[in-house]
């Protein structure tokens, strides 16, 4: 398993993260457990901020909180001086409860409800990323009722899509998100927005995909957005002050993955903006990005306890852990691949190939296929790396399994930042109608 950030193997032959022995974390907090390497998270935030500073452009780095949104994470993002992107009232509420400055919050989403818009306007958030014409009119109307003028970006689909390792230039992009540039709706959206009295159009936003390993797609997107900006300035006299190029920067899930250093992605983006805008007699816009996975992905490790095994000679050995698709749905959803090791026997020779099964009542609940490990026993601690993004965030209570706790580790210290769910959490919202209580009492 690739050792990320501060992870290392200590003198006891155990995995250690943030200076804390994984077996100690298991003894203290139980399993499954999400463990975050806080120094790695902060380091990534700083890499983005420093790289943008080096460009000399005005910028905002907004952490895409959909990747992992809990109050302690919002505190880190605030302390690192970044902005925060939310996509629902739940994420907005989490940020506000954590004391995140509202004016650095950006609100995304293709179907924001009236109450979400009201909540965000009341909180005086920094920017709405408007996705469609209905939202644009709704936002203008609600802002008017509240006697406010709100800042917006328009989300446009520039016709560049990243399919992990390659990019396609599509004419009319088939996407549920945003205003299409190809069919003219992006242009109409700018016309419409610029005439509304309760919105201030700052510029446009585009997001081309996720887990991207090259810079080419960002360059293509910057080029197309710049072309659009120039056209808009010429034909309707509207000048974009902000260009947001979204997120999508790739991380190393498995040893074969080779993401670029953050500074390389950022330089490519800022160079593309400088090239395309500088050469078109256009005032240099502010550049915003929204990294999610690349801030938290490889900082997360999930610790599990090994339970049962099933050996089918000549076929496969299944090793079951006490979590699975409920805490990490990505293998089942996307065939995502992960690396893992025995955290309590990290230096032992790998002698068998096993497949890691979850505990859900579902054949598809497999975390890792064909993993080399030392001979595994019940009670061993399995550490799966790179589970920081879209794991806790997408966890579920399928089979009424309680969501794990989350711990931040740093400099030999561990802090619980999300408690493990309790049985009360599981039944807490259930209601037995009175007539059923009466029936059971009469039986």
Ligand X SMILES: N[C@@H](CCCC[NH3+])C(=O)O
207 versus 359: smaller Cβ distance to ligand PLP? 207
Binding residues, as ranges, are: 248, 290-293, 330, 334, 362, 390
Is 106 a residue that touches ligand X (CB under 6 A)? no
**Among 49, 67, 105, 367, contact with ligand PLP (rule: CB under 6 A):** 67
Residue numbers 313-372 binding ligand X by CB under 6 A: 330
Residue of 64, 77, 82, 299 interacting with ligand PLP (CB under 6 A):
64
> Does 107 engage in binding with ligand X (CB under 6 A)?
no
* 210 binds ligand X, rule: CB under 6 A: yes
Q: Does 14 bind ligand PLP (CB under 6 A)?
A: no
404 binds, among ligand X, ligand PLP, none (CB under 5 to 8 A by kind): none
Contacted by 354, from ligand PLP, ligand X, none: CB < 5 to 8 Å by type: none
Select the span of 219-227, 242-250, 278-286, 344-352 touching ligand PLP (CB under 6 A): 242-250
Residue 330 contact among ligand X, ligand PLP, none, beta carbon within 5 to 8 Å by kind? ligand X
CA atoms within 13 A on the CB side of 385: 24
Active-site positions read: 361
d(CA 305, CA 321): 6
- Look up residue 442 and give its two tokens: 């009469």
Determine, following the binding rule CB under 6 A, whether residue 109 of this chain makes contact with ligand PLP. Answer: no
Binding residues for substrate: 293, 330, 334, 362, 390
Known binding residues for pyridoxal 5'-phosphate: 248, 290-293, 390
CB of 253 to ligand X, least distance (A): 10
Measured from the CB of residue 289, what is the shortest distance to ligand PLP in angstroms? Answer: 8
Q: Does 29 bind ligand X (CB under 6 A)?
A: no
Interaction pattern, residues 196-235, with ligand PLP; x per rule: CB under 6 A: -----------x--x-------------------------
Question: What's the CA gap between 417 and 245, in Å, rounded?
Answer: 31
Q: Which is nearer to ligand X, 187 or 253 (CB)?
A: 253
**Sites for ligand PLP among residues 276-305 (CB under 6 A):** 290-294
Closest separation in Å from C-beta 108 to ligand X: 9
Task: Provide CB contacts within 8 A for 382, sequence distance 6+.
Answer: 303, 304, 305, 306, 319, 321, 340, 341, 342, 343, 356
Quick check: 323 and 358 in contact, CB under 8 A?
yes
- Binding segment for ligand PLP among 49-57, 136-144, 246-254, 333-341 (CB under 6 A)? 246-254
Q: Interface residues for ligand X in 66-85 (CB under 6 A)? A: 66
Binding mask 365-394 for ligand X (x = CB under 6 A): -------------------------x----
Residues 6+ apart with CB under 8 A from 236: 190, 191, 194
Which positions touch ligand X (CB under 6 A)? 66, 210, 330, 390
Residues that bind ligand PLP in the complex, under the rule CB under 6 A: 64, 67, 108, 207, 210, 246-249, 290-294, 389
């Amino acid at each position: 398993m690739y050792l990320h950030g501060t992870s290392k193997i200590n003198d006891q032959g155990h995995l250690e993260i943030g200076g804390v022995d994984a077996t100690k974390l298991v003894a203290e907090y139980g399993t499954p457990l999400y463990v975050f390497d806080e120094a790695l998270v902060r380091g990534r935030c700083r890499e983005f901020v420093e790289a943008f500073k080096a460009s000399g452009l005005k910028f905002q780095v907004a952490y895409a909180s959909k990747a992992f949104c809990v109050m302690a994470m919002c505190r880190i993002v605030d302390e690192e001086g970044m902005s925060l992107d939310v996509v629902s009232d739940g994420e907005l509420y989490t940020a506000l409860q954590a004391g995140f400055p509202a004016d650095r919050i950006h609100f995304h989403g293709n179907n924001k409800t009236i109450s979400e818009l009201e909540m965000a306007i009341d909180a005086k958030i920094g920017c709405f990323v408007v996705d469609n014409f209905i939202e644009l009119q709704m936002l203008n109307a609600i802002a008017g009722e509240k006697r406010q003028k709100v800042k917006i970006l328009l989300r446009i689909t520039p016709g560049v899509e990243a399919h992990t390792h390659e990019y396609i230039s599509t004419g009319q992009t088939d996407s549920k998100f945003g205003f299409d540039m190809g069919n003219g709706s992006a242009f109409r959206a700018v016309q419409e927005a610029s005439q509304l009295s309760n919105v201030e159009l700052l510029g446009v936003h585009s997001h081309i995909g996720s887990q991207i390993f090259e810079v080419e797609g960002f360059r293509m997107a910057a080029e197309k957005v710049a072309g659009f900006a120039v056209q808009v300035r010429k034909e309707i006299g509207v000048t974009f002050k902000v260009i947001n190029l979204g997120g999508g920067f790739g991380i190393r899930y498995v040893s074969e993955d080779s993401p670029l250093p953050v500074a390389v992605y950022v330089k490519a983006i800022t160079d593309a903006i400088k090239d395309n805008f500088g050469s078109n007699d256009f005032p240099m816009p502010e550049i915003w990005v929204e990294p999610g996975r690349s801030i938290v992905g490889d900082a997360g490790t999930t610790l599990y306890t090994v339970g049962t095994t099933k050996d089918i000679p000549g076929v496969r050995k299944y090793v079951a852990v006490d979590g699975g698709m409920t805490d990490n749905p990505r293998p089942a959803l996307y065939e995502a691949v992960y690396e893992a090791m025995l955290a309590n026997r990290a230096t032992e020779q790998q002698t068998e190939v096993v497949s890691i099964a979850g505990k859900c009542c579902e054949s598809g609940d497999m975390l890792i296929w064909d993993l080399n490990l030392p001979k595994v026993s019940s009670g061993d601690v399995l550490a799966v790396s790179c589970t920081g993004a879209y794991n806790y965030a997408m966890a579920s209570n399928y089979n009424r399994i309680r969501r794990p706790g989350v711990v931040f580790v740093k400099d030999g210290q561990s802090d619980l930042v999300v408690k493990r769910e309790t049985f009360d959490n599981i039944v807490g919202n259930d209601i037995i109608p009175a007539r059923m209580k009466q029936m059971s009492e009469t039986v």
